[in-house]
Structure 1
């Protein structure tokens, strides 16, 4: 396994991995005849990937890019995303992944907030980028990739010089994560953070044990998220393993792709589990060689049923973009059928606290606060929220990072997830800020007042519910619902658009006019119980 320490950069770790594991596979793409790229699949050895990365690195360097520059990648979940990221990081360039589901307004915000120097995108995404650049203050250069030759591209010259040498503290990525203020926050992640995340995973005890040079990890999650591009990828890189990157989760193809690529580990979200259980039995599900699944959100009542049918354990974890050094079930602590996810450990200490930051007794719900240690609380955590020192300071109030997640701790230290304190809707693994959806709806001329909140969902964990007061003279019903739905589709990624619509004459507020969302939908209440609620979930599509 590659040895890292606090002074190692991604470029140094990559070079060591290529030298040690050159003939082994680093990246694999499953075969899929219906996909527009690599329909027969492809594998990249460490040595081959290294050659492509070196060629890309030469192009970036010749164009003047280095430390201090930020490059947006709109390359979906294709292998070229990781090849570009590694080339960029080797030079100290910061990678800013772009969610391909973003609409114009969202893309505008990211371009301006991250102050991108250049955007590298697929040819099919060029028109969307050019439309956004009509609105943005920041005007990055734009270059499209060649789907036949990854290194056949001409980068525009950098408009400012690079800023020194690459270090462990140099930003490697800026990932955008939803916040309660409405606009996403740019989470700055250093070289040290990303490598430490991979090393932590690769060194985990118990069920989550990674074997050097032998693992093939199937990840159906997108490369613009921390799970696939950082947690699992660097685990594989540092241990001589191979990341199998599919374009997206497809229940009907899951077992064929997992079995045919000889995956030994799979990553999952809670939404994946019931969809796989609903698939008819197939020969592919009997041919896999998976040792364990690693993920979060499996419903307790489905946990044992999944393991019995498919023959491997699902290891529940906790993590977030700010700290992907995960806590997870391992060894004798594993409790199938509960929401347990592990214990505090050296390098990731946990405090369950009340609203004043004081510890609560075992068995009492409280917010989970985390840190590396008392001496170095922020070690291997995110560096900062980009250009938002106030939010960074608030998140670290009292020397602990405030996760916003409510948990219960057993007397023996085992943690159980309860709920989220933040005003975040968690739909199929995507974090959606209610305030962002509210802001879009309030911009429609026929909307007077709106409250957006989470409604429980059997498949997607949570669904977006919009409670709306219309302006006088506009009749509630299917017609206005369809109009507002179409409006939201134009303004936001599909998953943020409300699935439930409830038109009401009044939204409950406090004496100071703060909306009381708990009076609209009580905890655990089904949205269908609201009078005359309209269900638009089936129309939410990419």
Structure 2
């Protein structure tokens, strides 16, 4: 059988490296999840995957079905994913922070027929499916899969590299989140790209131990980390999340040789007092994005390993990933390296002309060669118009503003798209506005990013109330009521951290929000004593 699916890639590695550890669960993560700590070898994992595969096949799951997975970063996520993938079933990873409105949309839009989820979330998912009008079954890890009621649309076709492996949702800039269809080939190439890029990114076969606190419902952990380890016979150490106080203990105790990071992490780690143990670890490099340029050189000097800044999107996958994996890395700037020969880059100004060295332009990318979409997503589910728009002119339009210096290095400048980036999460302003608009106190609302020293961005909401709100006490009460309600509808990180009640929003002549003016107003609002800080309410919600 050819190595065309993710399952087959894992099977081939298990046959070669059967006794090597595939995943490691540290005691802290195990205690939080209520599971056993320790390691699972490739051989052991394959046995469990094949057992799950038989159960799913007996229940009728097949090529063309979609199944949701809400298991957080537990090792069983991989087992169910690969078992389903072997049958041609595409998975829809579900962010556990999603709430009522988001789950209803996700289930209905994806048309998933079943979900494997934590028991504490079963009721939420079932109720969301009912509101969406989507036929839906649910199970927990360890349950017998429920029988399928309708046959798979491609049951007669053998899954191959072009078959959909996963449907990942990203922030939509003009409305609801978009479902990115990701084929098996997307995942294969992500692992091969990571394995082969070289320079400061050197992976030794059968020896690497990669630690990541990033969620498996994002492409970084799901495609880059997981597939890089499968392609090299390495061990993935997946934390439940980033814990600053125990981070270095986790790094040391796990024997991690590579760590993945978000830009917020170095800023938090640098707050701890210096210690003689700061360099007592086995890490050779960190892979991530968004580190504060001022902290970048200081962090590397203190902890003794490079933080390699990279750029990619769910849509681009490794087809246009760019990373500063060679010296000079221009540490202390926003440089993320140069593109490799397999990637083509064009920076285009607002007037449509190519940007010259030192000029800002939107980053347009494609794969070099005969297939400009090689390694990219297959398209947006149910939205071919958006797919065509993103690929206008044969280039993928990223929405990121970038500048190339005289030496050819690329530097991130800003986001052209109306997206707020908070602690590594992309938040579509329009989605937040559309949901929050439904609160009875809100006549109209606009949200924008404001700077946050730790998280990068925070969400600021300008709200025009239905009725005048005159006193600060009334403002605080109304803001808390709106935000508390928002937490039942949206993931906590999307809900406004600041609320300012205003008489009117900055609008164009056609009554659309003036996004440029909004950013200016939102920034000034931070200094307004009438602005209500609601950050203390933004905590992960339990089921």
- Coarse TM-score class (shorter-chain normalised): over 0.9
* Cross-structure match for 1:502: 500
Contact map agreement 1:143 1:156 (CA 8 A) in 2: no
Which of residues 519, 523, 531 is equivalent to 1:533?
Answer: 531
Contact map agreement 1:77 1:247 (CA 8 A) in 2: yes
Contact map agreement 1:456 1:526 (CA 8 A) in 2: no
Contact map agreement 2:29 2:239 (CA 8 A) in 1: no
Contact map agreement 1:68 1:163 (CA 8 A) in 2: no
Which of residues 238, 243, 251 is equivalent to 1:250?
Answer: 243
* Cross-structure match for 1:268: 261
* Cross-structure match for 2:6: 10
Q: Matched residue of 2:327: which SS?
A: helix
TM alignment of 1:111-260, pairs within 5 A: 111-146=107-142, 152-161=143-152, 162-260=155-253
Contact map agreement 2:56 2:145 (CA 8 A) in 1: no
Alpha-carbon offset, residue 67 of structure 1: 0.9
Which of residues 434, 438, 448 is equivalent to 1:453?
Answer: 448
* Cross-structure match for 1:149: none
Contact map agreement 1:268 1:296 (CA 8 A) in 2: yes
Alpha-carbon offset, residue 509 of structure 1: 1.7
What's the Cα RMSD here? 1.9
Q: Matched residue of 2:336: which SS?
A: strand
* Cross-structure match for 1:318: 311
Post-superposition CA distance 1:476-520 (Å, at most 9, x none)? 511111111111111111000100111111212222222223334
Moved more, 99-108 or 354-363: 354-363
Moved more, 494-503 or 356-365: 356-365
Matching of residue 359 in structure 1 with residue 357 in structure 2:
no
Which of residues 323, 336, 340 is equivalent to 1:328?
Answer: 323
* TM, length-normalised to structure 2: 0.94
Alpha-carbon offset, residue 347 of structure 1: 2.3
* Cross-structure match for 1:478: 476
Q: Matched residue of 1:35: which SS?
A: helix
CA distance in 2, matches of 1:343, 1:286: 29
CA distance in 2, matches of 1:527, 1:163: 59
CA distance in 2, matches of 1:128, 1:524: 34
Contact map agreement 2:278 2:302 (CA 8 A) in 1: no
Contact map agreement 1:216 1:242 (CA 8 A) in 2: yes
* TM, length-normalised to structure 1: 0.95
Contact map agreement 2:181 2:381 (CA 8 A) in 1: yes
Contact map agreement 2:342 2:369 (CA 8 A) in 1: no
Which of residues 90, 93, 99 is equivalent to 1:97?
Answer: 93
CA distance in 2, matches of 1:511, 1:483: 32
Contact map agreement 2:420 2:429 (CA 8 A) in 1: yes
* Cross-structure match for 1:73: 69
CA distance in 2, matches of 1:277, 1:248: 18
Alpha-carbon offset, residue 352 of structure 1: 0.8
Q: How many aligned residue pairs are there?
A: 533
Moved more, 482-491 or 505-514: 505-514
Moved more, 516-525 or 37-46: 516-525
Alpha-carbon offset, residue 33 of structure 1: 7.5
Q: 1:131 to 1:281 in 2, by over 3 A?
A: farther
Contact map agreement 1:204 1:210 (CA 8 A) in 2: no
Post-superposition CA distance 1:352-388 (Å, at most 9, x none)? 1123543211110000001002531111100010010
* Cross-structure match for 2:514: 516
* Cross-structure match for 2:43: 47
Contact map agreement 1:82 1:229 (CA 8 A) in 2: no
CA distance in 2, matches of 1:510, 1:18: 59
Q: Which runs of 5+ in 1 are unaligned?
A: 147-151
* Cross-structure match for 1:341: 336
Q: Which runs of 5+ in 2 are unaligned?
A: none
